Amino acid sequence: MVVTCYCRGVLGILGRAILGNARNIAFWVVLFLLVVTLFNLFSGSGSTLQSRERTYSEFVTAVENGQVSRVTLDGEQVRFTTSDNQSYTTIKPGDAEVTQMLIDNNIPVRAEKQQQSGFQSLLLTFLPFLLLIGVWIYFMNRMQGGGKGGAMGFGKSKAKMLTEKHGRVTFDDVAGIDEAKEELEEIVEFLRNPQKFSRLGGKIPKGALLVGPPGTGKTLLARAIAGEAGVPFFTISGSDFVEMFVGVGASRVRDMFEQAKKNAPCIVFIDEIDAVGRHRGAGYGGGNDEREQTLNQLLVEMDGFEANEGVIILAATNRKDVLDPALLRPGRFDRNVTVGNPDIKGREKILGVHARKTPLGADVDLRIIARGTPGFSGADLANLVNEAALMAARVGRRFVTMEDFESAKDKVMMGAERRSMVLTADQKEKTAYHEAGHALVGLRLPECDPVYKATIIPRGGALGMVVSLPEMDRLNWHKDECEQKLAMTMAGKAAEIIKYGEGHVSNGPAGDIQQASQLARAMVLRWGMSDKVGNIDYAEAHEGYSGNTGGFSVSANTKELIEDEVKRFIEEAYQTAYRILVENKDEWERLAQGLLEYETLTGDEIKRVMNGEPPQADDDAGDDADTGAPSITAIPKAKPKKTPPDGDMEPEPSA
């Protein structure tokens, strides 16, 4: 049954395409014939004018002087040939007796029919009107359904039908989001075997809404459903509905559902539905009338008086909070499927999917890579595998090694190295002490995430960077963890003040201050971690939220109390970082000098340098003692960088 419906839908689409093409071909054939007729008509009349013209008096004089050898009469036109075999033309007056004059002078006369027939005269008279009528019919045909891509096809749906030639994706290509995949697999099973559910009174879900952060695989899931279901699959973006013309969006919604009903059972996927499904009446001026009209039509088509049997709506968004409540109710979107970032097991499976066509070296362990990429989405992991392959190809390897994955991870997380950037010795030294302060405080506070890597090589927009990675996926934050993270964040500014004094603080801590302010405000305004402010969510009111839900005013005293608490959290964190750096000044100095010498140090190397040891032990093979697998921080051994006499950093090629 499904195969029959699918074939019927494909044949219907092919038939409509052929009919549309036939109309276009007929139009251009008629236009071509008209052009050819006009060309022949004017070229024929023009050929008669190729001979030279003479006045009628000159013609009479030539006849009387015996200079004309023969004459051809064509209506009012007289073509004559002189004795020297030259051809001329003239126009006779209406009352002239040309024929009698020629006979009297013994000149041969030949009469011809006029070249311009009655049909040609009629055609020349009515041709402009015929062309205008033809153009009008053509555009009316386009407006009434003659084509979607024409200049007047505003109201036609832009939904595209996916077929296997576009690259078939199945559930085997989706990993790391097992719960979401299971819910959507049930929809596919319903399309394949509806009797399994209908005999128990179950009905096919009318719609499923995929919600999750960007890059988690919502569109990939929809493509997998298209590949597995074996039914027509239409895809469209929410922004394709709304245009500058009033009523176009609603017309496109109607046309899309008409196409879907003709091909039922089928699936319609609307990507980024928040572009058309936003809360009605929100925003300045009461909202956008055209968008709201489009949304109203979508609501009616999904669940109105006329049921759309066999049409399943899939939609994806990362802004569920802005969607209209009427769009989210059961009967329209029966299922809300959350597609979140994968855990460590999910990341390992996703890496395996993306690495299928990538030749991997013997030292590559995908589980170790997954353990070192917490918070990565599916798109981030796909980008990581691709960057590793590009780095391996850049140096001419035949397979991708663990070193390539480490370099690719550093590039994705910290940005590309800017070794061509010239830094003075003073700038390098300040950056080294700044980053050493971050790393030391992070190592001394037990609730901070382990330090993964510290570098003073400019990456992205930063002159240096310290990256911390959690040992496990972090699902929530505790107050003591937030306070210690604040201390690690403010350690860079504390380090600069201790080393150079308050009068020589640079703008380097600007990013640290911004991060600390965001975290402290979240602790006070949203998470209830301030005893003075209490367990009240002040975030919306403090940020000037003007929506219809949750907006309220806050007194001046409360605002002052909030800012005092935010300042207190940051100040206490700064004092903690200052105290730790003073108490561990020798280790901090050694770490800063180590960064100046080696430029980049991993977590284990940082600990060795702080203890006065070389970054790499002689017997360190870079393998985990527990598993025998390469360490997540295994990179080529750090090598000291030479600084030229003028103090500028001399970039060296990476290994």
CATH of 160-338 given 1.20.1290.10, 3.40.50.10420, 3.40.50.720, 3.40.50.300: 3.40.50.300
Instruction: Give yes or no for residue 388 having a pLDDT over 90.
Output: yes
Listed in sequence order, the residues at least 6 apart from 399 whose beta carbon sits closer than 8 Å to its beta carbon are 359, 360, 361, 392
Beta-bridge partner residues of 236: 270
Q: Which of 429, 435, 565, 599 is catalytic?
A: 435
Cβ atoms < 10 Å from Cβ of 104: 11
Helix segments in 230-343, DSSP class H? 248-262, 289-302, 325-328
Domain 49-111: which CATH number of 3.30.720.210, 3.30.70.1280, 3.30.70.260, 3.30.70.2190 = 3.30.720.210
- Cβ distance 427 to 607 under 8 Å? no
Please state the residue numbers annotated as binding site for Zn(2+).
434, 438, 512
Q: Region 81-105: what's the mean pLDDT?
A: 80
Q: How far apart are CA 379 and CA 384, in angstroms?
A: 9
> Is residue 618 predicted with pLDDT exceeding 60?
no
Residues 153-207: tens digit of each pLDDT: 444 555 556 555 555 677 777 887 788 888 888 888 887 777 787 788 777 778 8
Average pLDDT over residues 205-215: 86
Residue 286 has pLDDT above 60, yes or no: no
Give the confidence band of 440 by pLDDT, cuts at 50, 70, 90. Answer: very high
* Span 411-425, pLDDT tens digits: 888 777 777 777 788
Burial class (CB in 10 A: 0-12, 13-18, 19+), 320: middle
Least confident of 62-66, 248-252, 632-636: 632-636
Higher pLDDT among residues 334 and 629, named by residue: 334
**Whether pTM exceeds 0.75:** no
Poorest-pLDDT segment among 102-106, 331-335, 389-393: 102-106
> Rounded distance, CA 428 to CA 426, Å?
5
The domain spans of the chain are 1-45+136-153, 49-111, 160-338, 344-414, 425-610
Single-letter code of the amino acid located at 588: W
| Burial readout 616-644 (b: 16 or more C-beta within 10 A, e: otherwise) | eeeeeeeeeeeeeebbbbbbeebeebeee
Residues in the chain: 655
Top pLDDT among 522 and 119 is at: 522
Q: What is the distance, to the nearest Å, from the Cα of residue 613 to the centroid of all Cα atoms in its chain?
A: 49
435 part of the active site: yes
* Residue 92: both structure tokens together: 């006779």
Q: Cα–Cα–Cα angle for 61, 67, 70, nearest 5°?
A: 105
Query: Tokens 């009107």, residue?
Result: 129
User: Which CATH code for domain 425-610?
Assistant: 1.20.58.760
Are 49-111 and 344-414 equal in CATH topology? no
- In words, the CATH class of domain 344-414 is mainly alpha
For the chain, the C-alpha Rg in angstroms (whole number) is 41
Q: At which residue do the structure tokens 């480490």 appear?
A: 406
| DSSP code string of 21-67 | HHHHHHHHHHHHHHHHHHHHHHHHHHHTTSSEE--HHHHHHHHHTT-
Contact assessment for residue 463 and residue 423, using Cβ atoms and an 8 Å cutoff: yes
Are 449 and 477 a contacting pair, CB within 8 Å? Answer: no
What are the beta bridge partners of residue 312?
267
In this prediction, residue 442 carries a pLDDT of: 92
Picking from 123-132, 407-416, 513-522, 527-536, which range would have the lowest pLDDT averaged per residue? Answer: 123-132
**109-113, 147-151, 186-190: segment of lowest average pLDDT:** 147-151
For residue 523, the 8-state DSSP code is: I
Annotated binding residues, as ranges? 212-219, 434, 438, 512
DSSP assignment of 370-425, as one string? HHT-TT--HHHHHHHHHHHHHHHHHTT-SSB-HHHHHHHHHHHHH--B-TTS---H
